Amino acid sequence: MIEIDGSAGEGGGQVVRSSLTLAMSTASPVIIRNIRARRSNPGLRAQHLAAVHAAAAICGARVEGAAIASSVLTFVPGALRPGDYEIDVGTAGSTMLVLQTILPALSLCRAPSQILLRGGTHNPRAPTFEFIQHAYLPLLARLGYKAGVSLERHGFYPRGGGVVRAAIEPRRPSDSLDLLERGPIQSRTARVLISRLPSHIAQRELDVLRSRLGLPQHACGIDTVTAPSAGNTLHVCVDCINVSTVFCGFGIRGVPAETVAGRVADEVERYLAAEVALDSHLADQILLPLALATGGRFSTLTPSGHMETNAAVINRFLPVDYERLERGAKGWEVTLRTRRPPQ
C-alpha cells in the first residue's frame, strides 16, 4: 500500500487525481491521508468524488472513504476495463479534470473506450474544453496517446450541465519527448465565449486583447452559446511549429472585462518573452502522461507548486527522476527520465 500525504506540497485535489491515475496505471493500492487538509473546506468535494467513482468504475477498484469531506481515501485497483462509460459530476465541477484522471489509464488498455461526461466544461482553476482539445491532446499525441473530444453542450458555474464525449484509443509506442524550442509562431487567435450576458462584455475583452497583443480583426471572434448558466470565458491560442498553447480567462462578477482580458494578455506576453515551449499549465499537466510514456524533456516557465507536487506524487509510484535546470532569462528545462536499476 503506497501512502500519500494529501496535505504535502500544493496540497489540493490534484494530489488525489494524480494518485488515482497512477494507482490504476501501475496496479498499485494507495491510501491518501490529510486530503486538502489546509484548504478552507478540507477533505473530498463533489468534483473529487466524481474522479474517484470514475476511476473505480474503469478498474473495478475497492474503495473506502469516498464521501464528502472525507480526509482519508483508500483505493485498491483491479484490472483496467475498456468500454463505454457515462460519468456525471453532478455539479459544475470540471469534466475535464475527470477526463485527465482516467485517460492515461484507459490508454493502457488493448481496446478503445467511449466516455460521456456531464458537468462543468468551463471552470475557473481547471482546464477548459478548448485547452484540452487544442493544447493538451495534441501534445499527448506526440507521446503515443490517441484521444479525441467533442463538446455537445457548454456548462458554466454554478449549474454545470455541460456534455462532452471522449474517445480513447490504446497508446502507441513513441519516442521520448524532446521539446526545448516552440519554433516560429504560425498564428495567434483570440475568441470570447459568452452565454446569457450582454455582448458588450465580449467586445470589451476582445478590444483589450487586440490592443495588447497586436491581433488583426480576422484573428478575433465572439461565440454566443446557450447554457444552463450565464458564463464568459476567453481564449488566446498561440500556434507554433512545435506546440500549440491555449491561455484562458474567466469573467467574474464584479471584475471589469478589461481586467479579465488584461490578465490573459499578461500571461501570453510572459510566455512569448521567455521563449519557452510550454506554459506553466501545460507543463504541469503533461508531467504524469510523460512519466507513464517514455519520458523526455521540455522547456517551460518557472515550475509551479502544482508541478513540484505532481512530480513528488509520481515518484512514489514510478522509478523516474525529475530534474529541472534554470536557463536564465529563457526559463527552465525540465527532464523526466526512467531511473535505471542498480547493476
Q: Determine the pLDDT at residue 22.
A: 98
CATH of the domain at 228: 3.30.360.20
Same domain, 64 and 126: yes
Residue 170 sits in the same domain as residue 196: no
Q: Which residue has the cell 529563457?
A: 330
Q: How much is the pLDDT for 121? A: 96
* 238-242, 264-268, 325-329, range with the lowest pLDDT: 325-329
Torsions phi, psi for 143 (to 5 deg): -100, 10
Interval 208-228 mean pLDDT:
95
Q: Give the dihedral sign, CA 46/290/144/299.
A: positive
Q: Residue 253 corresponds to which cell in the numbers above?
A: 462578477
pLDDT band at 189 (very low <50, low <70, confident <90, very high): very high
Q: Which of 183, 94, 91, 182 is nearest to 132 (CA)?
A: 94
Residue 169 and residue 107 in contact, taking contact as beta carbons nearer than 8 Å: yes
Which residues touch 225 (CB under 8 Å, ≥6 apart)? 154, 193, 194, 195
For residues 133 and 200, membership in a common domain is answered with no
Q: Where among 174, 198, 219 does a domain terminate?
A: 174
| Dist CA 142 CA 244 (whole Å) | 12
Same domain membership, residue 239 and residue 106? no
| Ramachandran class of 295: left when φ > 0, alpha when ψ lies in -120 to 50, beta otherwise | left
Q: How many contiguous H segments (helices) and E segments (strands) does the chain have? A: 9, 16
Q: What predicted TM-score, i.e. pTM, was given to this entire model?
A: 0.95
Give the CATH number, domain containing residue 129. Answer: 3.65.10.20
Write out the residue range of the structural domain in which residue 106 sits. 2-174
Any idea which residues carry the catalytic annotation? 306
From its phi and psi, is residue 193 left (phi > 0), alpha (psi between -120 and 50) or beta?
beta
DSSP assignment string, 217-277: GGGEEEEE---SS-EEEEEEEEEESS-EEEEEEE--TTS-HHHHHHHHHHHHHHHHHHT-S
| 190 three-class SS | strand
For residue 329, what is the DSSP state?
Answer: G
pLDDT tens-digit series, residues 148-171 = 999 999 999 888 999 999 999 999
The pLDDT-based confidence of 340 (bands split at 50, 70, 90) is: low
- Domains held by the chain: number: 2
Pair 245, 104 in one domain? no
Is the pLDDT at 15 greater than 80? The verdict is yes
As given in the structure block, the three cell numbers for residue 166 are 471522449
Residues 143 and 217 in one domain: no
Q: For 167, which DSSP code?
A: E
How far is the C-alpha of 53 from the C-alpha of 86, rounded, in Å?
Answer: 11
pLDDT at 289 over 90: yes
Domain end call among 174, 197, 218? 174
- Average pLDDT of 106-130? 96
Residue 332 to residue 341: CA distance in whole angstroms: 28
Provide the pLDDT for residue 338.
Answer: 84
Asked if 192 and 146 sit in the same domain, the reply is: no
